[in-house]
Amino acid sequence: MSANKESWGSRVGLILAMAGNAVGLGNFLRFPVQAVQNGGGAFIIPYLICFLVMGIPLLWIEWSMGRFGGKFGHHSTPFIVDTMHKNRLWKYIGVFGIWTNIAVASYYCYLESWTLSYVFHSLGGTFSGLDQIGVSNFFDEYVSLGESTFGIPYEPIFFFVICLLLNTWILSQGLAKGVERVAKIGMPLLIVFGMFLAYKGFTITAGENGAINDSSVGLNFLWTPNFDELWSPTVWLAAAGQIFFTLSVGMGTIHCYASYVRSKDDIALNAMSAGWMNEFVEVVLGASILIPISIGYLGIDGVVDLVNKQGGLGLGFRTLPYLFYQWGDVLGAVAGVMWFGLLFFAGITSSLAMGTPWIGFLQDEFNWRRRPAAWSFGLIVLVLGMPTVLFFKYGVFDEYDYWAGTVSLVVFALFESILFAWVFGMNKGWREITSGADIKVPGIYKFIIKFVTPLLLLWVFIGSLITPKGGDWAGALSNGWELDDSSIINKIKNSNLKRQLAEATDPAVIE
């Protein structure tokens, strides 16, 4: 048993910390890009279904698993699942719940560090007077570790280290004094900034300040349902992956935070408050900034092109700093500070959450103190994050996001939903969810958690494991199975990562 007796300071603090955990760069940068890459309106239907039948159930599963394990003094996934069943196997599967956090943190904190640096560049007027190409080039120059306007050598590494130091320092202050306090300041600010930018996003009018489209063009692109690819497992994998990523489920973060909830306290309502707050920030605020503004000025084709050619998460850095300046010099700088400031708060309240499972693990099982545990997290992330920094242009970053940030979440969620509903048992599980509950949990969720969630997860996983060429299932059944390049099996075989790293380290291949 551990001497780790930490807990949350207050209910508001807990909800804000959990919401801060969920609300992150995923809401503002990843969601819009996933939507664009998966056909806009074709993405939204699977996305919403995944929220209702996988997201919500997994929130309840993970919150109750966490509170349950916390009663036995455990705060990390391997030992939490170990309290649920005597078979040792589960403990090893539970290692996912620490590992995924560390792997995601390794690229996430790098992205977070860009937002910090871009706050200063917006303040310092770096983007004033640049055209769209200029702003986009600045980003390319930045991530290839080129010369920066501030004259700091290797500026991205500098900001990456600063960002990790900040995370480490806050983590070492503890749960209530560190994490909870940051969430109480960061979350309200983020919402205020987000509302302002969403308002600007909603009021774009073609012909004003160089806009070529009304904001409705971007919003329609996102929200007009499109049934063409509705049954493609690849789209479903992307939708499920996004729901998991954005809610922070399938990776052990929620187990850890919830394990510090007192055993008599509510989880049913708390889980819904944090989860729905995340969805509000994602589908209302997240969907109303990057996409409508970018499409307003660059057109749908322009944006789809940028995303496909230049890879995922850079869009918000390549376009917005330029587009903001179309509103005038002062507003341009202010909007830049708000946008990147909002991203920074969103990011840090999430990366702090990724640090806690590892820290809890060291505290509980090895009697480490909080401080050295926090430092060890910072150090590990620095080392594991370095490949995304150094080899960014080879797509290493997107590769981390695919394996750690999408596939492993779905795999782990599949295991834990089986553990919860079938091994631990649905009746016991339901008692855990509803005990101390401040809301009445709809009875239909007993059925959903037992059957729908695991089956859908299984379908998404197997479907994307062996996706046939072109997603043509009927054809594949009659003609022998040729795998699509988007199938997980082919991704393993043609591992980009291996090839890219080989290229990156062999100068002969580069030139």
Point out which residues bind ligand PHE (CB under 6 A).
21-22, 24-27, 101, 104, 245-246, 248, 251, 253, 350, 353-354
Instruction: List, in order, residues 6 or more apart from 280 with CB less than 8 Å away.
Output: none
- For residue 87, what are its two tokens? 């078979």
Q: What is the DSSP letter of 440?
A: P
From the number of C-beta atoms within 10 Å of its C-beta (0-12, 13-18, 19+), residue 323 rates as: buried
To the nearest whole angstrom, how small is the minimum distance from the Cβ of residue 245 to ligand PHE? 6
Distance CA 240, CA 50 (A): 6
- Nearest CB to ligand PHE, comparing residues 79 and 412: 412
Q: Under the criterion CB under 5 A, does residue 349 sit at the interface with Na ion? A: no
Instruction: List, in order, residues 6 or more apart from 140 with CB less than 8 Å away.
Output: none
Residue with tokens 């946008």: 339
254 within 8 A of 66, measured Cβ to Cβ? yes
**Which one of 4, 21, 27, 100 is in contact with Na ion (CB under 5 A)?**
27
Choices 154-162, 238-246, 363-371, 403-411 (CB under 5 A): range interacting with Na ion: 238-246
Partner whose binding site includes residue 21, from Na ion, ligand PHE, none (CB under 5 to 8 Å by kind) = ligand PHE
Choices 131-139, 242-250, 317-325, 488-496 (CB under 5 A): range interacting with Na ion: 242-250
- Nearest CB to ligand PHE, comparing residues 35 and 211: 35
Q: Under the criterion CB under 5 A, does residue 341 sit at the interface with Na ion? A: no
From the number of C-beta atoms within 10 Å of its C-beta (0-12, 13-18, 19+), residue 469 rates as: middle
Partner whose binding site includes residue 70, from Na ion, ligand PHE, none (CB under 5 to 8 Å by kind) = none
Distance CA 497, CA 156 (A): 22
Distance CA 436, CA 265 (A): 6
Please state the length of the chain: 511
Choices 21-29, 51-59, 308-316, 429-437 (CB under 5 A): range interacting with Na ion: 21-29
Choices 18-26, 99-107, 206-214, 308-316 (CB under 5 A): range interacting with Na ion: 18-26
To the nearest whole angstrom, how small is the minimum distance from the Cβ of residue 104 to ligand PHE? 5
Instruction: List, in order, residues 6 or more apart from 303 with CB less than 8 Å away.
Output: 36, 291, 294, 295, 315, 319
Choices 95-103, 243-251, 461-469, 490-498 (CB under 5 A): range interacting with Na ion: 243-251
Instruction: List, in order, residues 6 or more apart from 61 with CB less than 8 Å away.
Output: 416, 417, 420, 429, 433, 449
- Nearest CB to ligand PHE, comparing residues 36 and 476: 36
- Nearest CB to ligand PHE, comparing residues 246 and 464: 246
Terminal C-alpha separation, the chain: 57
CA-CA-CA-CA dihedral for 116, 400, 247, 93, to nearest 10? -130
Helices (H), 26-95: 31-37, 41-50, 56-71, 77-82, 89-93
User: Nearest residue by C-beta to Na ion?
Assistant: 246
- Nearest CB to ligand PHE, comparing residues 245 and 297: 245
Distance CA 139, CA 242 (A): 25
User: Nearest residue by C-beta to ligand PHE?
Assistant: 24
Partner whose binding site includes residue 417, from ligand PHE, Na ion, none (CB under 5 to 8 Å by kind) = none
- Nearest CB to Na ion, comparing residues 41 and 405: 405
**Which one of 101, 117, 246, 487 is in contact with Na ion (CB under 5 A)?**
246
To the nearest whole angstrom, how small is the minimum distance from the Cβ of residue 339 to ligand PHE? 16
Distance CA 124, CA 229 (A): 45
Partner whose binding site includes residue 253, from ligand PHE, Na ion, none (CB under 5 to 8 Å by kind) = ligand PHE
Distance CA 110, CA 385 (A): 7
Q: Total number of residues binding Na ion (CB under 5 A)? A: 6
From residue 257, how far is each of 14, 19, 403, 431, 483 by CA, in Å?
A: 9, 11, 24, 20, 40
449 within 8 A of 61, measured Cβ to Cβ? yes
To the nearest whole angstrom, how small is the minimum distance from the Cβ of residue 416 to ligand PHE? 15
Q: Which residues pair with 374 in a beta bridge?
A: none
Phi, psi of 483 (to 5 degrees): -80, 145
By CB under 5 A, the residues from 60 to 99 that bind Na ion are none
- Nearest CB to ligand PHE, comparing residues 127 and 257: 257
Q: Under the criterion CB under 5 A, does residue 22 sit at the interface with Na ion? A: yes
Partner whose binding site includes residue 353, from ligand PHE, Na ion, none (CB under 5 to 8 Å by kind) = ligand PHE
Q: Under the criterion CB under 5 A, does residue 26 sit at the interface with Na ion? A: yes
By CB under 5 A, the residues from 272 to 301 that bind Na ion are 278
- Nearest CB to Na ion, comparing residues 215 and 349: 349
- Nearest CB to Na ion, comparing residues 27 and 77: 27
Partner whose binding site includes residue 251, from ligand PHE, Na ion, none (CB under 5 to 8 Å by kind) = ligand PHE
- Nearest CB to ligand PHE, comparing residues 26 and 78: 26
To the nearest whole angstrom, how small is the minimum distance from the Cβ of residue 247 to Na ion? 6
From the number of C-beta atoms within 10 Å of its C-beta (0-12, 13-18, 19+), residue 421 rates as: buried
Partner whose binding site includes residue 104, from ligand PHE, Na ion, none (CB under 5 to 8 Å by kind) = ligand PHE
SS3 468: strand
To the nearest whole angstrom, how small is the minimum distance from the Cβ of residue 36 to ligand PHE? 17
Angle at CA of residue 454, ends 448 and 458, nearest 5°: 140
- Nearest CB to ligand PHE, comparing residues 115 and 126: 115
- Nearest CB to ligand PHE, comparing residues 245 and 400: 245
- For residue 119, what are its two tokens? 């706050």
Residues that bind Na ion (CB under 5 A): 22, 24, 26-27, 246, 278
